[in-house]
Structure 1
Amino acid sequence: MNWLQGGPFLELSFIINEPTKIERVISKLKNLDVKIEVHNPPEYLQQYYEGYPYDEDDPHSVMIHQITLNITVHTTRLRRALLFVEKISSKLLSFSICFYGDAFDAPEWNQLGVRDDELDEFISLLISLYMELDFSVGGLAIEEDIKGLFDVSEGWPNEKYHLANLNFKDSLQNFLAIIINRSLKDNFPDEHFILKDNSYLLYRTELR
């Protein structure tokens, strides 16, 4: 059985500046109030650094660096999830934690849904991850990750995936919550965001 299957998926994602060792990010997950277990052995991460060519028949093909990890997240109810790590440009890494996101449980797949009264747990987890990792921007959405905020049509990796190309105006409604590092405050319209703890900007939509 697949570690995570079905759908839709609730995606908690964030962008971190390169250079960053993904082992460092994963090790910091242990510092959260919510326990996160990674089930892949450390040597498995080497596949990320080795990468693979987008086109195996092209010696000049761009290299793809990405990896998928099986994790368990100890929210109030224990959940299986997948952690996707992708290098989207020379300066940016994308991390996305995907949960089974239907409102109802799927016992046939041994997967828990996300009830309305549980969504706040995931927003709190997003905030906790920000406080530990100090990432640039992060979000929570159904079937959408933070890469959807980029006003870029090209696939990644691509140097157009730059923080200056984030587009909140057209994509904000797709997210349940978004966090922006305060250092980026002057770069983006903030009428929908609230400054929290003099540290980060938080946007929250009406929960379903």
Structure 2
Amino acid sequence: MELKEKKTKSIRDIINKFSTVTNKIEIVDRNVNEIIDAFEAGYPTDESDLNLFYIHSLKLRIYVYLSRKRKATLQIEKVSSNALMVNFWFFGSIFDAQEWDQIGIKEEEFTDFSNFLEELYHVYQFKVGGIAFEEDVLNLFSCNETYPNECYRFEKVVPDHFLQKPSNFIEIIWSEKYKKLSHIPYNHIRLDKEGILIKTGSFNE
């Protein structure tokens, strides 16, 4: 997502919009203000050299109500001077894990995650987002650097790269507000608000 304003305001805007998402999102942590303040302050990549980049990162424990109530983690990272990466991390196994109080994903529940991704796009209208196992959207950039890094600037993610290079993503939503797509080598459907859902993989693979 593009970082246009102060970091604190951007984070609060993301969290405040939870109430407009069709799937209920419930925050478990009670010290949200402290967590946001810590994100704003950040911490140096090397405490012995305070002139290095600062990491601005937060994690919130949440529940997301899909067809069943699921534990998840909201992770937000400042990856460049003008871009935020927002992740919703879910337990990805098909088996329940009682020791972690996690439920597995049944085959008929795969569409829950696709629908949730579409709902997030309708609310936040992000430039690019997707569903993957143990991957995040930084893998859609033509950059392999550790963040924060200016190679992850908001304007540097382009579909030419991720449509040509195989990835571990199952689905990707791209906003054609930023670039119209004429040739898409995957099955795809067009969404409201200039979105396009590209099916780059399968939950069963």
Scaled by the length of structure 2, what TM-score is found?
0.87
1:56 aligns with 2:56: no
Give the conservation status (yes or no) of the 8 Å contact 2:122–2:193. no
Residue among 10, 20, 35 paired with 1:31: 20
CA–CA distance in 2 between the matches of 1:188 and 1:164? 19
Offset at residue 189 of structure 1 (A): 5.3
The one-letter amino acid of 2:32's match is P
1:19 aligns with 2:15: no
Flag the structure with more relative contact order, 1 or 2, with Cα contacts below 8 A and sequence separation at least 6. Answer: 1
Residue 196 of structure 2 is aligned to residue 201 of structure 1: yes
- Flag the 1:150–1:76 CA change in 2: closer, same or farther, 3 A: same
Residue pair 1:102, 1:113 contacting (<8 A) in 2 also: yes
| 2:178 match | 184
**Percent sequence identity over aligned pairs:** 33
User: Structure 1 61/111 Cα, relative in aligned 2: closer, same or farther at 3 Å?
Assistant: same
The answer (yes or no) to whether the contact 2:59–2:73 under 8 Å persists in 1 is yes
Deviation (angstroms), 1:203: 0.8
Q: Distance in 1 between matches of 2:166 and 2:109?
A: 21
RMSD: 1.8
1:155 maps to 2:149 = no
Matched, 1:164 2:174: no
**Does 2:110 align with 1:119?**
yes
Q: What are the ranges of 5 or more consecutive residues in structure 2 without an aligned counterpart?
A: none
Pair 1:172–1:130, CA change in 2 (3 A): farther
Contact residue 152 and residue 165 of structure 1 kept, 8 A: no
Give the alignment partner of residue 131 of structure 1, picking from 112, 118, 122. 122
Give the AA of the match of 1:194: I
CA shift, 1:184, in A, is 2.5
What is the CA–CA distance in structure 2 between the aligned matches of 1:189 and 1:26, rounded to whole Å?
35
**How far does residue 151 in structure 1 lie from its aligned partner after superposition?**
1.2
Gaps of 5+ in 1: 1-15
Alignment of 1:97-108 (within 5 A): 97-108=88-99
CA contact (8 A) 1:148 1:171 kept: no
